[in-house]
Amino acid sequence: MSYGRIKATQLIDKVTTADEAARLFEHGMVIGASGFTKAGDSKAVLDALARRAEKEELKITLMTGASLGHDTDAKLTRAGALAKRMPFQVDRVLREAINRGEVLFVDQHLSESAELLHNNCLPPVDIAVIEAAFIEADGSIVPTTSVGNSVTFAALAKRVIIEINTRVPEAIYGLHDIFQPDNYPHRNVIPIVAPENRIGRRSIPVDINKIAAIVFTDIQDSPADIAPPDAKTIAIAGHLLRFFEDEVKKGHLTDRLLPLQAGIGKVANAVLSGFKDSNFYDLRMFSEVLQDSTFDLLDSGKLSFASASSITLSADCYDRVFANLQKYKDRVVLRPQNISNTPGLIRRLGVIAINTAIEFDIYGNVNSTHIGGTNIMNGIGGSGDFARNAYLSIFVTQAASKDNRISHVLPMVSHVDHTEHDVDILVTDIGLADLRGLAPRERADRIIRNCVHPEYRESLRSYFDRACQLRGGHTPHMLEEAFSWHNRLRENGSMK
Amino acid sequence: MSYGRIKATQLIDKVTTADEAARLFEHGMVIGASGFTKAGDSKAVLDALARRAEKEELKITLMTGASLGHDTDAKLTRAGALAKRMPFQVDRVLREAINRGEVLFVDQHLSESAELLHNNCLPPVDIAVIEAAFIEADGSIVPTTSVGNSVTFAALAKRVIIEINTRVPEAIYGLHDIFQPDNYPHRNVIPIVAPENRIGRRSIPVDINKIAAIVFTDIQDSPADIAPPDAKTIAIAGHLLRFFEDEVKKGHLTDRLLPLQAGIGKVANAVLSGFKDSNFYDLRMFSEVLQDSTFDLLDSGKLSFASASSITLSADCYDRVFANLQKYKDRVVLRPQNISNTPGLIRRLGVIAINTAIEFDIYGNVNSTHIGGTNIMNGIGGSGDFARNAYLSIFVTQAASKDNRISHVLPMVSHVDHTEHDVDILVTDIGLADLRGLAPRERADRIIRNCVHPEYRESLRSYFDRACQLRGGHTPHMLEEAFSWHNRLRENGSMK
Ligand SMILES: CC(C)(COP(=O)(O)OP(=O)(O)OC[C@H]1O[C@@H](n2cnc3c(N)ncnc32)[C@H](O)[C@@H]1OP(=O)(O)O)[C@@H](O)C(=O)NCCC(=O)NCCS
Ligand SMILES: CC(C)(COP(=O)(O)OP(=O)(O)OC[C@H]1O[C@@H](n2cnc3c(N)ncnc32)[C@H](O)[C@@H]1OP(=O)(O)O)[C@@H](O)C(=O)NCCC(=O)NCCS
């Protein structure tokens, strides 16, 4: 054991095994755990909890930053340990249990869980489980590859379990900027005016008397598996980069653009990679998660600074970043997710937000979460925090998938996560639609012209034309036919 | 003429008639006009524009703060003067033209039009038309009963027409707090931490050389016609006040609550009136529009301060307020709508937002704008600015209307303005549903139990139960039946 990582030496007798620590959990408890896009999550204690729950009735509410790695959500689900889960997940096993109605899922904006906890709008947290690089002399926690909601969990939980991960070098100290707004009614300004501003401390404060157990691990974050760019994502990235170039030509933006946010996944990666060979320079990111592409851009000199709440890397990139932490620490900062994703900062900084949609409709409404209106995919994550308040709110998706049996551009989305009022730019591999300043009928025309897959263009045009003729209105729709494409897919396996 | 109201005496030769001023408009121009919820709007120049447009081809894009009074939108519509209108309207004649597809309408969050203009995301403003109480020596404009988007229009327009309204006393000077954030990428903090903070100047800066015409009027704002509380609005207000009392008992809020925002209309009025006989005290408003009820609450001592972008009063209350301006000026401030409605301040202050819905569904999605999914009613206004970022996001509506032929609680809303992620509390005359921390299936159960009209309860329960059985999912829906209630209303005149 690396007891040297416990600078508060009076805590050394709290060191125990994961199984022992997991005995602290009781049926019905609310657990707040670290972890955000598979980074900085609990690797041992939640795993031990799953094993316990296999043998006894032990159902909890689990809150995290965002998604967990190491199949932890799957293990907890299979063990029947999850009564309720929030605010985000990406696990196939958990997703299916949610969709069967077995696990209750609360799909929250990532900036809001901490708000709701602080405001007593959610049940109080019993136990926090937080991954740490080390514990400072005052008991405060130096986190690892994510901050997430850990500051809130540590502040509000009755007891705290710390997992010290010795795989993470102590040199990570200084990567994090830990700041929390005061509670209402005395909340103050968050004094960030640029992504690179540091306003807080380097570790997460915690009442040392609440630390109930310390567990050691040596397990790396689950690697991000990012599909390499393919023809579609390269086409999407191309449309988007040309759009940015045009905005610069028109004098709307400079070659430095404005701070970028990019969701995870291959499209975001393709877009960021596209910047490498562009004329843009001195770029900044103000995002929620940083992937390999961020570090490539930092290395290439195109990107000057990146702010987020987590770092999710491939195995190769993980090694590279941790071997060069000192170099990156000046140019990267990790913040609590209620800071990285807070509406006021996103508007103040003028973020350009790029997120992936499951589907969008002819009027610009976006579905980020549901398949067929009923089944959850992952959750809204931070897409709403950013899209709603961004300088530019961009959504990307492939025009069609599954041998073109599915069109992602539709008469009406089956679930709305981002409304027509919030969406500026839509992009598919077919093309880009700039919706700014357009009325709904103008938007429909442009989206049908620019974004829909050619195999669906005519029938989408026909829907719109008939809706205008038969019903008219500000937003012409035939409600009895609005979901006919989804219904056809359900019944016949194709939207055609 | 009260030339004394033009302290910049070099401008006196700009004084002209409304008809002369209206000659400045040209076909295809973009006009930015003052006016917000019928307050502080142009009374003469836009009227003259309508008269001109009756005789010649003259179509413009008209941007305002929000809605206009004096049937101006109707006159412009009838004259065929409107090509495009944004960001809000409440006029029956205009609404019908929009729904026939004759006028293009862009339904924007009220905080965003100024952003879009500053960021060159909308066509540039050719002429600003701004109502003023008087003009300062440096040419700057002292506005009247609203600020709206006038600061942005004055800054960006190529030419400015000022309507000096002598009906408004010069003593209004000091009511306004004129502040604008800097442009990207150098935007700074908006240093407001309480509704009563004043951070700007008292008049709207304008390049004196751009002032192209000055017109005098003496016409009062169109009076607000507020229906008196009835059984339904009293029931809604009762549910809401009991909810606030419970939150205080639970220690979630104090008797001072947090700053209140209330939409216009009779429900908001009934709620605010309800505070008069409550135990709450030292209340504050951080809202977009102030109605009679605000001044009643100020008089009763319950309300300490009110911040907004406009004041819309009945004729009686108007006289009372203007006879006592000095008294109210210390306790009321009017701000630009991109400050009153800005996301960051709404979250920073922890606003309790109360807005009216047209309909909501069993999962908590709210429609504020469309009838039957196609026809616009008014627009989203500021409801999204507030709901999305509020401490508590509350929507109210009657459970049923038109002899109960219409249910306002539905399987699925026909248009989404506020998503399930953004809505905390729903209230009808039947009861209140607190949705915080609930998964979709839990929300459905609570909404069906608490909010739906008894005549619709069973069939809404049946929809939900069958959706759970037949389709399951995180958000059970039968897409082929989701709009059946709307379809029945369209075909048979009743949702039953
Ligand atoms: C939207 C999101 C799921 C897209 O992720 P992705 O990996 O690019 O997903 P895809 O475009 O490949 O589509 C998802 C799947 O749904 C399927 N799908 C889409 N529409 C469908 C429909 N109407 N019916 C059935 N399946 C459908 C696709 O075919 C695809 O299937 P596959 O995975 O078997 O190929 C993901 O970005 C997400 O969860 N976003 C929300 C969170 C967020 O934005 N966070 C902010 C930043 S991290
Ligand atoms: C939502 C809004 C229209 C409600 O206003 P309201 O005057 O209370 O409206 P009502 O509840 O009486 O309902 C509106 C009408 O639509 C009708 N209606 C509602 N649902 C309907 C449906 N599915 N089909 C047909 N008609 C419907 C009602 O019967 C009612 O008709 P009536 O006016 O003939 O009685 C109004 O508050 C608004 O425009 N809000 C958006 C802007 C906003 O919130 N701004 C923020 C603060 S100012």
pTM tops 0.95, yes or no = yes
Tell me how far the alpha carbon of residue B446 is from its chain's centroid: 29
Question: What part of A 167-186 touches B (C-beta under 8 Å)?
Answer: 181, 184-185
For the Cβ of B157 lying below 6 angstroms from any atom of ligand 2, the answer is no
DSSP string of B317-332, one letter each residue: HHHHHHHTHHHHHTTE
Task: Determine the pLDDT at residue A435.
Answer: 98
Which residues in chain B are contacts of A185 at CB distance < 8 A? 254, 256, 258, 350
Per-residue confidence band for A177, with pLDDT thresholds at 50, 70 and 90:
very high
CA distance A406 to chain B (A): 16
pLDDT of A226 above 90 = no
For the Cβ of B42 lying below 6 angstroms from any atom of ligand 2, the answer is no
- Which phi and psi angles does A212 have, rounded to 5°? -100, -25
> How many residues can be counted in chain A?
496
- H/E segment holding residue B462: helix B454-470
Residue among B96, B45, B387, B464 at smallest CA distance from A109: B387
Round to whole Å and give the CA distance between B230 and B237.
11
Residue among B318, B227, B303, B304 at smallest CA distance from B269: B227
Per 3-state DSSP, chain B is made up of helix, strand and coil in percentages (nearest 5) of: 35, 20, 45
Question: What is the biggest distance separating any 2 CA atoms in chain A, rounded to whole angstroms?
Answer: 77
For the Cβ of B398 lying below 6 angstroms from any atom of ligand 2, the answer is yes
A427-485: per-residue pLDDT in tens? Answer: 999 999 999 999 999 999 999 999 999 999 999 999 999 999 999 999 999 999 999 99
- Which phi and psi angles does A211 have, rounded to 5°? -70, 110
CB B309, CB B335: distance < 8 Å: yes
Pairing relation of β-strands A141-142 and A134-135? antiparallel
Which residues in chain B are contacts of A115 at CB distance < 8 A? 347, 391
Task: Please give the average per-residue pLDDT across A380-392, as a whole number.
Answer: 97
- H/E segment holding residue A409: strand A409-410
For the Cβ of B35 lying below 6 angstroms from any atom of ligand 2, the answer is no
Task: Look up tokens 């389709």; give the residue.
Answer: B471
Could you give the C-alpha distances from B350 to A357, B6, B198, B303, B417, in angstroms and in order? 30, 41, 18, 17, 21
Amino acid type, A37: T
Is B251 in the A-facing interface, judged by CB distances under 8 Å? yes
Average pLDDT across chain A, whole number: 97
A77-116: per-residue pLDDT in tens? Answer: 999 999 999 999 999 999 999 999 999 999 999 999 999 9
Q: Which two tokens stand for residue B420?
A: 């399930």
For the Cβ of B359 lying below 6 angstroms from any atom of ligand 2, the answer is yes
pLDDT of A229 above 90 = no
Classify each residue of A71-94 as buried b or exposed e, where b means 16 or more C-beta atoms within 10 Å of its C-beta.
bbbbbbbbbbbbbbbbbbbbbebb
CB B297, CB B303: distance < 8 Å: yes
**Are B121 and A188 an interchain contact pair (Cβ–Cβ within 8 Å)?**
no
Q: Which two tokens stand for residue B98?
A: 């929009």
DSSP-based three-state secondary structure for A165:
strand
Please state, for a pLDDT cut of 90, what percent of chain A lies above it.
96
Which residues in chain A are contacts of B439 at CB distance < 8 A? 84, 104-106
Task: Determine the pLDDT at residue B1.
Answer: 64
**Are B384 and A421 an interchain contact pair (Cβ–Cβ within 8 Å)?**
yes
Task: Please give the average per-residue pLDDT across A161-175, as a whole number.
Answer: 97
CB A190, CB A179: distance < 8 Å: yes
DSSP-based three-state secondary structure for A389:
helix
pLDDT of B479 above 80 = yes
For the Cβ of B205 lying below 6 angstroms from any atom of ligand 2, the answer is no
Question: What part of B 104-143 touches A (C-beta under 8 Å)?
Answer: 104-109, 115-116, 119-123
Per-residue confidence band for A1, with pLDDT thresholds at 50, 70 and 90:
low
- H/E segment holding residue B217: strand B211-217
- Which phi and psi angles does B376 have, rounded to 5°? -70, 145
Is A439 in the B-facing interface, judged by CB distances under 8 Å? yes
DSSP-based three-state secondary structure for A320:
helix
Ligand 1 pocket test, candidate residues A377, A415, A485, most atoms within 8 A of CB: A377
Task: Determine the pLDDT at residue A463.
Answer: 98
Round to whole Å and give the CA distance between A358 and A374.
13
Per-residue confidence band for B420, with pLDDT thresholds at 50, 70 and 90:
very high
**Atom number of ligand 2 nearest to Cα B358:** 1
Q: Which residues contact B454 (CB under 8 A, 6 or more apart)?
A: B430
Round to whole Å and give the CA distance between B25 and B56.
12
Task: Determine the pLDDT at residue B6.
Answer: 98
For the Cβ of B487 lying below 6 angstroms from any atom of ligand 2, the answer is no
Please state, for a pLDDT cut of 70, what percent of chain A lies above it.
100
Task: Determine the pLDDT at residue A425.
Answer: 98
DSSP-based three-state secondary structure for A31:
strand
Per-residue confidence band for A141, with pLDDT thresholds at 50, 70 and 90:
very high
Q: Which residue of A has its CA nearest to B252?
A: A120
Round to whole Å and give the CA distance between B428 and B232.
8
- Which phi and psi angles does B355 have, rounded to 5°? -130, 160
Per-residue confidence band for B461, with pLDDT thresholds at 50, 70 and 90:
very high
- Whether a cis peptide bond, with omega within 30° of 0, leads into A87 is yes
Tell me how far the alpha carbon of residue B77 is from its chain's centroid: 21
pLDDT of B144 above 70 = yes
> Which stretches of B109-185 are assigned E, i.e. beta strand?
127-132, 134-135, 141-142, 159-165
- H/E segment holding residue A287: none
Q: Which ligand is nearest to the CA of A291?
A: 1
B231-277: per-residue pLDDT in tens? Answer: 999 999 999 999 999 999 999 999 999 999 998 878 888 889 889 98
CB B428, CB B410: distance < 8 Å: no
Number of Cβ within 10 Å of residue B189's Cβ equals: 15
* ipTM of this predicted structure: 0.97
Provide the terminal-to-terminal Cα distance of chain A, rounded to the nearest Å.
61
- Ligand 2 mean position to B367 CA, how many Å? 10
Burial status of residue B459 (CB atoms within 10 A of its CB: 0-12, 13-18, 19 or more): middle
A139: left (phi > 0), else alpha (psi -120 to 50), else beta? left
Is A360 in the B-facing interface, judged by CB distances under 8 Å? no
Round to whole Å and give the CA distance between B230 and B338.
34
**Are A437 and B107 an interchain contact pair (Cβ–Cβ within 8 Å)?**
no
A393-419: per-residue pLDDT in tens? Answer: 999 999 999 999 999 999 999 999 999
CB B365, CB A416: distance < 8 Å: yes
DSSP-based three-state secondary structure for A82:
strand
Task: Determine the pLDDT at residue A335.
Answer: 98
Question: What is the biggest distance separating any 2 CA atoms in chain B, rounded to whole angstroms?
Answer: 77
- H/E segment holding residue A161: strand A159-165
Round to whole Å and give the CA distance between B197 and A94.
48
**Are A416 and B414 an interchain contact pair (Cβ–Cβ within 8 Å)?**
no
Sheet holding A409-410, edge to edge: A366-367, A359-361, A409-410
Between A and B, how many residue pairs show a Cβ–Cβ distance under 8 A? 232
Question: What part of B 366-425 touches A (C-beta under 8 Å)?
Answer: 370, 372-376, 380, 384, 388-389, 391, 414-422, 424
DSSP-based three-state secondary structure for B293:
helix
